[in-house]
């Protein structure tokens, strides 16, 4: 029987090889990631600006890339996303907030 870490790693590998993940280009490197396209940005007054900015999240494997604080860029579905910040990190993955200037919705 393997360790918890071994079990977690094999579960993550299966998830990223399945239908949940897509191929994206992260700072020039092609990787598998789970992208979730989110909402249209709303300014501080509560008024939305449809089509001007779209937010989402991107889950990546730390074995593929290690996100750092910088100018990370993700290309997915023909659109370019900027990495805004790291939301959370586990032993094997990181969840990133991403934003693009064009709406996918």
Tens digit of each residue's pLDDT (9 = 90 or more) over 1-14: 578 877 777 777 78
Q: Tell me the C-alpha distance between 10 and 40, whole Å.
A: 35
Q: Is the dihedral of CA 75, 76, 78, 83 positive or negative?
A: negative
Q: Tell me the C-alpha distance between 41 and 51, whole Å.
A: 9
Q: Is 76 exposed, middle or buried (0-12, 13-18, 19+ CB in 10 A)?
A: buried
Does 36 reside within a domain?
Answer: yes
- The range of the structural domain enclosing residue 79 comes to 4-100
Does 18 reside within a domain?
Answer: yes
What was the pLDDT predicted at 31?
96
pLDDT digits (tens, 9 = 90+) for 46-103: 555 555 557 899 999 999 998 876 789 999 988 899 999 999 998 889 999 999 875 4
Do residues 88 and 4 lie in contact, with contact meaning Cβ atoms separated by under 8 Å?
no
Does 85 reside within a domain?
Answer: yes
Does 105 reside within a domain?
Answer: no
Total structural domains within the chain: 1
Does 52 reside within a domain?
Answer: yes
CA angle 89, 95, 100 (to 5 degrees): 150
Take residue 21 and report the two structure tokens written for it: 């993940």
Do residues 9 and 62 lie in contact, with contact meaning Cβ atoms separated by under 8 Å?
no
């Amino acid at each position: 029987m393997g360790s918890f870490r071994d079990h977690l790693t094999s579960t993550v590998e299966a998830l990223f090889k399945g239908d949940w993940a897509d191929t994206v280009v992260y700072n020039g490197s092609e990787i598998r990631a789970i992208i979730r396209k989110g909402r249209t940005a709303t300014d501080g007054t509560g008024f939305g600006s449809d089509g001007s900015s779209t937010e989402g999240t991107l889950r990546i494997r730390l074995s593929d890339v290690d996100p750092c604080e910088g100018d990370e860029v993700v290309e997915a579905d023909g659109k370019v996303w900027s990495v805004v910040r790291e939301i959370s990190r586990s032993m094997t993955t990181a969840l990133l907030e991403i934003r693009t200037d064009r709406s996918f919705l």
